[in-house]
Amino acid sequence: MATQLMIEKWLGNVSTTTIGATKAEGGTRANVVKIGGEQGLPFLFQEAAMPNKPVIAFEVWDIPPVDWPDELVKSLGSVVNDPFAWAEKCVSEYKAKILCVRMQGAHPDFGNKSADDSAKFISQLLKKVSVPLIIVGSGDDQKDSQVLPLCCEAAKSERCLVGSAVQENYKTLVGAVLADGHNIIAESPIDINIAKQLNILISDMGLSLDRIVINPTIGALGYGLEYAYSIMERARLAALAGDKTVGSPFICFVGQETWRTKEAMISQKEFPAWGPEAQRGVAWEIVTAAALIQAGADLLVMRHPKAVEKVNKYIGSLMESSL
């Protein structure tokens, strides 16, 4: 006797967020990137539509990275010493559809660039590449509150994704995003209740929920990945059950979390049985990304070109089952 697949019908959906604005929309980008829009759990196409596939953004810094493993830097080559060449290589050679620019040079411990200098960098970068941008701060909340509003102004009408807004310090960034027509990253510390509350606070200021992307904060394989997965899954189930306040797409900073693990950084000389660190790091980034895609990640920020290539193929194979 043939078994019949149980089909779940959902009341809610994930909102669709559009990143980038073409000339017809008042911007200068050659393309836009749409994320979210799911009407069911990831890749269960017999149950519901998944109109937009997960997207990978290459991470680019405004300064040469100083704390990246040697093997990761080698994979990118000398362009890491020139942020503009780095960005152009990601687009021309690696076919990036979107870039994530980290304004690390503004951090007090990494050069302490002024907010004006950071804004000038964004203006120049927008002329160098034509893909949509994600603009994220250095991680120093006080400095980011000065830098990101000016970066928003420099990219006015380009409909970037800017972050991160946190519960303790979100009003300044929300105001800048509203004024200059961007989307926002709402960051919560692996907590569905805080994620929901922050989305409510941001929307109460007048930014619509479809312009919010949730950064649930994640861990790499072996460093809290399973906990992050469970939080993302809970939020997605709540959204599909009809809770619009957690029905935003997810962004996951995979590269950042992967390449600071000991498995990605420790050399083979120290632990010969572990094998080459270059292979370990790439594998760690691939596995972490693949797991988060199954948890519902819509936008992944990654670093190693080979890992990006493999995960893009994985996404393609998953999407083929919808045809």
Helix H segments across 165-304?
171-180, 192-204, 225-240, 254-258, 262-265, 277-295
Domains in the chain: boundaries: 16-320
**Tens-place pLDDT, residues 62-75:** 999 988 999 999 99
**Tens-place pLDDT, residues 243-273:** 999 999 999 999 999 999 999 988 888 888 8
Q: How far apart are CA 267 and CA 124, in angstroms?
A: 37
Protein fold of 16-320: TIM Barrel (3.20.20)
SS3 306: helix
Mean of the pLDDT values across residues 196-219? Answer: 97
SS3 14: coil
Looking at the predicted structure, is the pLDDT value of residue 123 above 70? yes
